[in-house]
């Protein structure tokens, strides 16, 4: 693929926005990055790029929130995500790209509506079984779309954790998951020269966006709910736009 100046600027702007979202909310990198990158590159490039950069973006959050990590749920999530990653990587290699775009659009739209409507899962589902189920689904989504967050966001929203604990659990899990997903992508021939080139261009902008998001998160500690609603509204719009793109192309 030939990368024009306009495309490169778009890639870097998306990376900046995705990094900012991750720094602000502790999640959301892939749900911003993957669909917007997919507007100018193939989904089989945007997904590995999101996985590589999203994993790296968790590192500063982990360093800052190390003392707030809850290791037991992290372990359950990490173990249960492995079979999901295997399934998702197989689907990414075998399933037509258009199907993946539709699946991503439906997932993003559903999560946006669920969260904007303050959706809740029954308390009877909130134990270890829900944790393992969300880990599996997160692994499958992470491998097939580089957007592992939706099941984890639902799970953490049900826990009696403060914001720092939720961010810490999400960050550690996303890092561990990326350490599995990226080699699986490599074994399936998805880590191409184009993926490496895009990562090299966008990495500095991810870092700048992360720094800005973390700074704003510190300033708006009392208004996190408002910011999350804005993010989920954007997620809903992205899902709808991806569905429109899939059906009109």
pLDDT digits 0-9 by tens, 70-94? 888 888 888 888 888 787 777 766 7
Which carries the bigger pLDDT value, residue 227 or residue 139?
139
pLDDT category, 207, cuts 50, 70, 90?
A: very high
pLDDT of residue 208: 94
Q: How many domains does the chain have?
A: 1
pLDDT of residue 119: 63
Instruction: Quote the CA–CA distance of 246 and 164 in Å, as a whole number.
Output: 37
pLDDT category, 100, cuts 50, 70, 90?
A: low
Mean pLDDT of 211-233: 74
Instruction: Quote the CA–CA distance of 50 and 142 in Å, as a whole number.
Output: 10
pLDDT category, 12, cuts 50, 70, 90?
A: very high
pLDDT of residue 236: 78
pLDDT of residue 109: 80
Instruction: Quote the CA–CA distance of 248 and 55 in Å, as a whole number.
Output: 32
Torsion of CA 227, 229, 230, 233, to 10 degrees: 160
**Phi and psi torsions of 24, nearest 5°:** -75, -50
Instruction: Quote the CA–CA distance of 110 and 123 in Å, as a whole number.
Output: 21
Is pLDDT at 55 greater than 90 in this prediction? no
Q: Token pair for residue 77?
A: 């999530």
What's the chain's average pLDDT? 80
Closest CA to 35 of 117, 142, 146, 169: 146
pLDDT of residue 237: 74
Mean pLDDT of 125-143: 76
Domain range spanning residue 108?
5-248
Q: Are 60 and 159 in contact (CB under 8 A)?
A: no
pLDDT category, 117, cuts 50, 70, 90?
A: confident
Mean pLDDT of 1-5: 77
What does the pLDDT look like over 147-187, one tens digit per residue? 677 677 767 766 777 777 888 888 888 888 788 778 878 88
pLDDT of residue 10: 94
List helix spans (H) across the chain: 5-25, 29-37, 43-64, 71-94, 97-116, 128-145, 149-157, 163-187, 193-219, 224-248
Burial of 192 (0-12, 13-18, 19+ CB in 10 A): middle
Is pLDDT at 127 greater than 70 in this prediction? no
- Any idea what the Cα angle at residue 185 is, between residues 176 and 60, rounded to 5°? 35
């Amino acid at each position: 693929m030939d990368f024009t100046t306009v495309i490169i600027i778009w890639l870097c702007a998306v990376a900046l926005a995705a990094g900012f979202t991750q720094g602000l909310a502790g999640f959301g990198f892939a749900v911003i990055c993957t669909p917007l990158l997919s507007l100018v590159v193939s989904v089989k490039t945007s997904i590995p790029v999101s996985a590589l950069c999203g994993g790296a973006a968790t590192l500063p959050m982990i360093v800052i929130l190390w003392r707030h990590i809850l290791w037991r749920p992290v372990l359950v999530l990490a173990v249960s995500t492995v079979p999901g990653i295997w399934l998702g990587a197989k689907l990414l290699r075998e399933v037509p790209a258009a199907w993946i775009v539709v699946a991503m659009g439906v997932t993003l739209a559903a999560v946006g509506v669920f969260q904007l409507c303050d959706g809740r899962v029954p308390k009877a589902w909130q134990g270890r079984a829900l944790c393992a189920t969300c880990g599996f689904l997160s692994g499958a989504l992470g491998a097939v779309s580089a957007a592992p967050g939706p099941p984890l966001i639902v799970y953490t929203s049900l826990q009696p954790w403060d914001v720092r604990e939720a961010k810490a659990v999400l960050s550690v899990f996303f890092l561990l998951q990326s350490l599995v997903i990226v080699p699986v992508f490599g074994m399936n021939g998805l880590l191409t020269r184009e993926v490496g080139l895009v990562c090299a261009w966008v990495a500095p902008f991810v870092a700048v966006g992360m720094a800005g998001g973390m700074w704003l998160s510190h300033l708006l500690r009392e208004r996190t709910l408002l910011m999350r609603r804005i993010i989920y509204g954007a997620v809903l719009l992205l899902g709808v736009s991806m569905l429109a793109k899939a059906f009109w192309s």
